[in-house]
Chains A and B, each alone.
Chain A
Amino acid sequence: MPLSETTPRTWRQRLRTPIRVLIGLFILDVGVWAFADVWQRHSPDDYAMRVAGCNHHPQELVIVGGSPVSEGIVPDELCCGEFPRVFALGLPGGTTTEFYHAILRACPMPPKLLIYGITASDINDSRNEPHGPASLMTLGDVCEWATTRPESREWVIRQYLLAKASRSWSLFRYRHGIRMWAALQADAMAPGAAPEAVREARELRNYADAIQSGNGYAPAAGFVTRRHDVNKQTGAELPPFAFLNKYKTGSHLKYLHKLIDWSNANDTQLILLDMPVTSDLEAQYPEAFAEYRERLSEIERQRGVTIIRAHRDIVGITDAGFADTIHLNGVGAKVLSQWLRYRLDEFKEPSEPNDDRLRAQAGGTRP
């Protein structure tokens, strides 16, 4: 190497290579950004896509909630004359805080009826969902969180800033989508290139297509046909449901009050639908469910909110209608959705729901 190459020069000269590398990365990033749609289709930001899907048209009925809603409510079953457009805004892994922000973003035209499919894990203060600050919140929302839930102030600021920083670099932002796309391309050229990645890529692409084209009902591939009773028969030990660990309530509930306030202010009727869970889950976390139900009763008393308690025995769903301890399978989802439809009708003119065939498929009868 010539001496001049190693002789120290000015900082600008010495940083020539890193600057060129940065320019190269910038050019690459522009190229990646230009194909953002392709990468998003292979690794969807499901929170953002569901919110955008709901936002696309004014909805008469919106059902919001976590994965029990995304897996367990079939919007088509709820469509009727009064509610021609129904959207299931199920955000897997979300908490009440996320659902409040999702409604703000997804419903600029408030719906006639808002159903919140609530479950115990939604209000567990021991958990927060990083997807919320990343995909649903503005800086104002983060500031509001910092004052509303000061115990997780640092967490939300960190998550929000990390998300903003990572989204400024397309290569990093779409890395998973690029990987999934590459897996499918490699599989097309040489089948069996990376079987696990290809399976994941296909599932994600189908999931993205379902979210984008439908009414929010896009159950995960495994949940539709899986049956909890069959799983139990194998004798496998039930895994813990980590979302109910260290159960405590308080600060997420503040956002439930905000949701109630928002509904009142926008003339939207809000119904809380206490989602069915298996007896196994209740047996695993009896204290969590006791506390959750107590909080629900308090809300009902204090705020006068309508609560529909869709207990499995009332709806008529046994373990055969669940995919695991908390999520309904395809049949269970249909039973619950039809039952809910009858209950909504009852608000106008009380009647007795009757569909024994579906209930038999779900493995139970109405008590």
Chain B
Amino acid sequence: MILASKAFFLFLLITAVGYQLLRGRTAKYAFLLVASYIFYALCSPWYLWVLLLLTGIDYLAAKMIEDASDERSRRRWLKLSIVSNLGLLAAFKYTGFAYDTGLSLGHWFGYEAAPRSWEILLPLGISFHTFQGISYTVDVYRRQIRAVRSLLDYSLFVAFFPQMAAGPIVRAIEFLPQLVQPPRLSFAQIGDGLHLVARGLFKKLVIADTLDSLFVSLVFADPSSYTPGAIRWAVVAWAVQVYCDFSGYTDIALGTAKWFGFELPANFHLPYLATSITDFWRRWHLSLSTWLRDYLYFPLGGSKGSAARTYFNLMAIFVLCGLWHGATLAWMVYGVYNGVLMSLHRIYDRTVSGMSWFDRWRKTTAWAIVSWAFTFLQLILGLILIRMANWQSGGTIVQSLFDFAPVSLLRKETPSLVPLLIFLGLFGHMAAVVRSRVKVRVPNFEWPQVTATVLAIAGVVVFSPGVGKTFLYIQF
């Protein structure tokens, strides 16, 4: 059952109605928790025990950390929580990768072993709920929040089905206070939720899935059969596809959470308007990038130590960020690539900052456009790494980007629907730019929102492919 399926919306309808009809905090939350576990069991039936085990461990560890009288004991419980979460994450996600890497290294040294004939299925959302669990126990350890006394509340925080499969990675401090009293649905939440869900479905089913089946998959599977112009369109289309797929999921998650009265944190802030790689990571998958910053980068020392240490820390978090997305060499290279870019940007920024002429120039629109274009080029080079079928085809695609032959729409190769879908996918970005430039103020935002919702629903009904593809980030 994926979030953009009819089965999910039937499940959602039953759960939302049941939740609203029940009275009393315990009954409501127990109902929602059971529904979340049913959702998990329907998606990942063999691994419900993983979720239950980690929930139990983290709940207990946080309580023990808070109740412990000495620092050693507190630290011991924290270690138990972190090792349990990371241990299970590593076991499920990285065993195969480690085996393959070991095999390659062994081959290098003349040792041969049988190639892997087994595959480990990944439990649903393990990359997300393990990070939630760690952030909770660490926050309790740091005395930033109190440990939750109710197992029901904590279990719901971990298993809340709208965000369990692919985030956002919700912090305890953001979610648990909302559980004190069952939130009553507000007028705005119902409308906003509906709008977000319709928008998310449109992004996912109409834009991302259509771009993928119409063009992106074909070009990335065999780039040598296409001209450089078509490949350039495909790369931009892939950037829009991955954004619409993931932000579409997030919109649906945020929208459905609103129908239960809960607010989840935003995960995107117009990422393709970033004017530097650092800026991009402040706009893309915010819940992950802030998690890595707060629970990895800062504990490693952040930028407080020597320059070498800071660059090491940056590389460490981005390599881990890459591996978090997927246990493959391509993802690791993607992490290294971003780490290197972040380090280079830091060097550049520290070098030119303070030069008055340069600072003045950096405030101009022309500079913003150049920076944006250069950043976007860096981003799409990174995105090629994670989509290319192999290194050779990746090389062909990159070569095409720098082939300065005249650009044409090349209608025979590039369906002209592709630019339209790219435009629709980036409409939110463009609208934000226009709004900021012309200072458009809509006194009553409800009617435009209602119209957009109606059109998005109509678009999904008419133009979505019959069979929805799974969300890219659910695979992580």
* Residues of chain B at the chain A interface (Cβ within 8 Å): 184-191, 194-195, 214, 411-412, 414-417, 420, 446, 449-451, 453-454, 457-458, 461-463
Contacts and interface: CB of A to CB of B under 8 A. Distances in A.
B186 A6 contact: yes
Contacts of B451: 24
A14 B194 CA distance: 12
B461 A175 contact: yes
A18 B198 CA distance: 12
B415 A193 contact: yes
Interface in A1-59: 1, 5-9, 13-18, 20-21, 24-25, 28
17 contacts: A1-B188, A5-B187, A5-B188, A6-B186, A6-B188, A14-B187, A17-B195, A17-B453, A18-B190, A20-B446, A21-B453, A28-B454, A172-B461, A182-B463, A186-B416, A192-B411, A192-B416
Given A25-B457, A191-B416, 19 more contacts: A1-B188, A5-B188, A7-B186, A8-B185, A14-B190, A15-B190, A17-B187, A17-B446, A18-B191, A21-B450, A21-B457, A25-B454, A171-B461, A182-B463, A186-B416, A186-B417, A192-B415, A194-B214, A194-B417
B187 A179 contact: no
Contacts of B457: 21, 25
Interface residues of A, number: 30
A14 B185 contact: yes
A8 B187 CA distance: 7
Nearest to B213: A196
A178 B411 CA distance: 23
Interface string A334-349: 0000000000000000
Contact of B187 (A16, A28, A178, A194): A16
Contacts of B187: 5-6, 8-9, 13-14, 16-17
Contact of A191 (B186, B411, B458): B411
A14 B186 contact: yes
A14 B186 CA distance: 6
A15 B451 CA distance: 16
A9 B189 CA distance: 12
Contacts, number: 80
Contacts of A28: 454, 458
A328 B119 CA distance: 46
Nearest to B215: A194
Interface of A: 1, 5-9, 13-18, 20-21, 24-25, 28, 171-172, 175, 178-179, 182, 186, 190-195
Nearest to B184: A8
Given A6-B187, A7-B186, A194-B214, A171 B417 contact: no
Contacts of B461: 171-172, 175
Contacts of A16: 187, 191
Which 5 residue pairs across A and B have the least CB separation, nearest first?
A17-B191, A24-B454, A192-B411, A190-B416, A6-B186
Contacts of B184: 8
A175 B411 CA distance: 26
Contacts of A6: 186-189
A6 B263 CA distance: 13
A7 to B, nearest CB: 7
Contacts of B186: 5-8, 14
A17 B415 CA distance: 37
A17 B450 contact: yes
Contact of B458 (A13, A14, A171): A171
A178 B459 CA distance: 11
B458 A21 contact: no
A192 B194 contact: no
Contacts of A7: 186
A172 B461 CA distance: 6
Contacts of A17: 187, 190-191, 194-195, 446, 449-450, 453
Contacts of A5: 186-188
A192 B450 contact: no
A171 B420 CA distance: 22
Contacts of A182: 462-463
B338 to A, nearest CB: 35
A192 B446 contact: no
Given A20-B450, A25-B457, A195 B188 contact: no
A45 B189 CA distance: 41
Contacts of A192: 411-412, 414-416
A2 B194 CA distance: 20
Nearest to A10: B187
Nearest to A24: B454
Contacts of B214: 194
A5 B462 CA distance: 33
Contacts of A9: 187
Contacts of A15: 190
